[in-house]
Structure 1
Amino acid sequence: MEPSIKQLFTNTGYITLFTGRFFKEVFKPPFQINEFLRQCYAIGFKSLPLVTITGFIMGLVLTIQSRPTMIKFGAESWLPSMVSLSLIREIAPVITALICAGKIASGIGAELGSMKVTEQIDAMEVSAINPYKYLVVTRILATTLMVPVLVIYADFVGIYGGYVGYNVHGNISMYRYFSDVFEHLEFLDVLPAVVKTFFFGFFIGLIGCYKGFNASNGTASVGIAANSAVVSASLSIFIIDMLAVQLTDLFF
């Protein structure tokens, strides 16, 4: 067997065991509520400025770029609903998740990697503290909860950015714009998009924790863990999105 293929199967086995341990530990007391809330604040609230800027620019640029084509086909009145559906179904979830992969997964990987290198995780085990429960479970739960919240927030900011972009060359009231948006928006447009963001958040937290928790000795491994976490989390987002689109098309 080729070394690269053997390494692939080995890594797959390790991350499967790591994931299985999460589902085993998450239901066992004691529950680290304070650390979980602290991670929700660090992951969710501190990401709001970046998500706000990105969401607004997404809606603004998409509207400005789409408007000439819509005018050419005499469908300018469909621009608010088209932009909102594009944002909610696909663009906002994927772009926001990629931003979280870059910011959150790398941060978790670097933080846990540095703790591994400086033997802080070993010290927690000596102190009768379960480091997996305290460090890994809380972070995975926080990302699983916070990424969908950030995506929903990005949806609204992006739709408002579309309103601003529409008024760059046109003139429409906010009431009429949002009426057009919600008139063509259905529950089945929102549900699949929100559900897949929970998987985005879970894998962002899982991969970031796995890379950091299993970092090698040496300071260079911290950077390697952070970089590897971003690449792997971003790739997982695209794979999950591809599967979600296929399942949505099949069942809805």
Structure 2
Amino acid sequence: MFHSLGRYLLLLRLSFKRPEKFSVYWNEVMREMVSQGIGSLGIIGIISVFIGAVATVQVAFQLSSPLVPQSIAGSIARDSTILEFSPTISALVLAGRIGSSIASQIGTMRVTEQIDALEIMGVNAPGFLISPKILSGLSMVPLLTIVSVALGLSGGYLACIVSRDIAPTDYIVGLRDSFKPIIVGVCCVKSISFGFIITSVCSYFGFYTSGGALEVGQSATKGVVFSCIWILFADLLITSVML
């Protein structure tokens, strides 16, 4: 375990050494941002709308009492979406979508000796392959989380219109009522941390792949599994510390 942690930290240190040519690295960052961000919008949008709608309907069902104002459903759906559903569930989905792609791509380059060729040419392979992915994850995962929050709350509004369990006006009142800015801060810290975990952990497993095509698939699986575990652990830690 400590050996793996040491290799992981060493890989991170090598990844953020001074680049040989900044423009090349910058082009890689832009390419990764398009791949990770634009490529994930569809799945994040669909999941967020449905999760927001389901959360609102379930809250309305559990609070179906004449003594409880209907607007409270909007407040609960808002806080749960911003604090937990959007950052954590989006990160778990992105771990499967982005993480597996990163581990497979780097793992394939390792087993086909492309990484060895880069090192022979004097290129810092960890910096060229991994740092653009991490920088992209640090920027795109928070942006995708913001989109997820907006679509999740919109999905809750659509659920109010369709199900009619809660009046849409009461839902809007609940979204505005007793808002605490700290929940936005927690959401931002979570999304940035999750973006780093997904990209760095999956890059580690891909970079140290050995063997052939079978091992590439195993590395991708390990990257996704360990990313999800660390995302859940970081979720608990951040929530405990900040709230």
Class of the TM-score when normalised by the shorter of the 2 chains? over 0.9
Query: Cα RMSD between the aligned structures?
Result: 1.7
Cα drift, residue 138 of structure 1: 0.4
Aligned residue identity for 2:151: V
Alignment of 1:120-159 (within 5 A): 120-159=114-153
- Whole-angstrom distance in 2 between the partners of 1:69 and 1:220: 48
Q: Check if 1:69 corresponds to 2:91.
A: no
1:214 pairs with one of 184, 208, 226: 208
Alignment of 1:26-65 (within 5 A): 27-28=18-19, 30-31=21-22, 32-65=25-58
Aligned residue identity for 2:136: A
TM-score (normalised: structure 1): 0.89
Cα drift, residue 134 of structure 1: 1.4
- Whole-angstrom distance in 2 between the partners of 1:201 and 1:169: 35
Cα drift, residue 132 of structure 1: 1.5
- Whole-angstrom distance in 2 between the partners of 1:39 and 1:158: 25
Aligned pairs, how many?
Answer: 239
Q: Check if 1:239 corresponds to 2:233.
A: yes
List runs of 5+ in structure 1 lacking aligned partners: 1-7
2:199 pairs with one of 200, 205, 221: 205
Q: Cα 1:178–1:165, aligned 2, differ >3 Å: closer, same or farther?
A: same
- Whole-angstrom distance in 2 between the partners of 1:29 and 1:123: 16
Aligned residue identity for 2:216: V
| Shift >6 Å, 4+ stretches | none
Cα drift, residue 136 of structure 1: 0.5
User: Which residue is 1:4 aligned to?
Assistant: none
Q: Check if 1:185 corresponds to 2:176.
A: no
- State the secondary structure of the residue aligned to 2:204: helix
- Whole-angstrom distance in 1 between the partners of 2:127 and 2:10: 15
TM-score (normalised: structure 2): 0.92
- Whole-angstrom distance in 1 between the partners of 2:184 and 2:176: 11
User: Which residue is 1:225 aligned to?
Assistant: 219
Aligned residue identity for 2:177: E
User: Percentage identity across aligned positions?
Assistant: 31
- Could you list the per-position Cα deviations for residues 134-160 of structure 1 after superposition, in whole angstroms to 9, with x for gaps in the alignment? 111001111111111111110000000
- Whole-angstrom distance in 2 between the partners of 1:28 and 1:130: 8
- State the secondary structure of the residue aligned to 1:89: helix
- Whole-angstrom distance in 2 between the partners of 1:142 and 1:232: 20
| Deviates most, 114-123 or 48-57 | 114-123
- Whole-angstrom distance in 1 between the partners of 2:141 and 2:208: 24
Cα drift, residue 42 of structure 1: 0.1
User: Which residue is 1:115 aligned to?
Assistant: 109
- Whole-angstrom distance in 2 between the partners of 1:64 and 1:9: 46
Is the CA contact 2:20–2:123 (under 8 Å) kept in the aligned structure 1? no
Cα drift, residue 129 of structure 1: 2.7
User: Which residue is 1:3 aligned to?
Assistant: none
- Whole-angstrom distance in 1 between the partners of 2:146 and 2:92: 15
